[in-house]
Amino acid sequence: MKYASVCSGVEAASLAWMPLGWEPVWFSEIEPFPCEVLKQRFPGVQNLGDMTKIDGEKYAGTVDLLVGGTPCQGFSVAGKQGGLGDPRSALCLAYCRLLGTMRPRWFVWENVPGVFSTNGGEDFKAFLCAIDEIGYSVAWRVLDAQYVRVDGYPRAVPQRRRRVFVVGYLGEWQYPAEVLFEPGCL
């Protein structure tokens, strides 16, 4: 599986997917420290920088999956909960625009559970409506890292970290549901 990553950070997804043999095609990160980590950890993978400046049509058909955890500050209950009114959290809609022009078969989007409550739930609804308009079937679930135990990864440090994962597929709804709700897939 070939994938692209936006809001890549130090690329935890790539580390998690290495044992699966999945291949990163490109990253999109703007913060200096994570950019340097990416450069050192993945020297052969290009960092395209600002995700809002990526021409998705140029990358259509090049990846099977787009992954991203757009900024959560506007959704987090630890902040002001400005929701989509916060330009950082509004990047989830830029993620949708990129998804719409690239149209990979799959996507994975991650954020904080506060995304359910900002603006009375209307922000999450807007995100899901944008995804639906593109043609993706989705499933979402809140997972907590404190319950993660991964054989073969002695340095995995489970911690309380609840996150919303939205998995989408261009086609039937059963596939994203299988990814998030079948015990063997977790």
pLDDT (tens digit per residue) in 32-52: 999 999 999 999 999 999 999
Q: Is the pLDDT of residue 152 over 50?
A: yes
SS3 64: coil
pLDDT, the chain, mean = 90
Tell me the C-alpha to C-alpha distance, in Å, between residue 75 and each of 14, 19, 148. 25, 32, 24
Alpha-carbon distance of 78 to 111, in angstroms, equals 13
pTM: 0.89
pLDDT band at 186 (very low <50, low <70, confident <90, very high): very low
Name, in order, each residue with C-beta under 8 angstroms of 157's C-beta and a sequence gap of 6 or more. none
Q: Which of these is catalytic: 7, 35, 72, 185?
A: 72
Q: 72 an active-site residue? A: yes
Q: Indicate which CATH number applies to the domain containing 43.
A: 3.40.50.150
Number of structural domains found in the chain: 1
For the chain, the helix, strand and coil percentages under 3-state DSSP, each to the nearest 5? 40, 20, 40
Name, in order, each residue with C-beta under 8 angstroms of 1's C-beta and a sequence gap of 6 or more. 17, 20, 21, 22, 23, 64, 65, 106
Helices (H), the chain: 12-17, 32-41, 91-102, 122-134, 174-181
What range defines the domain where residue 134 resides? 2-185
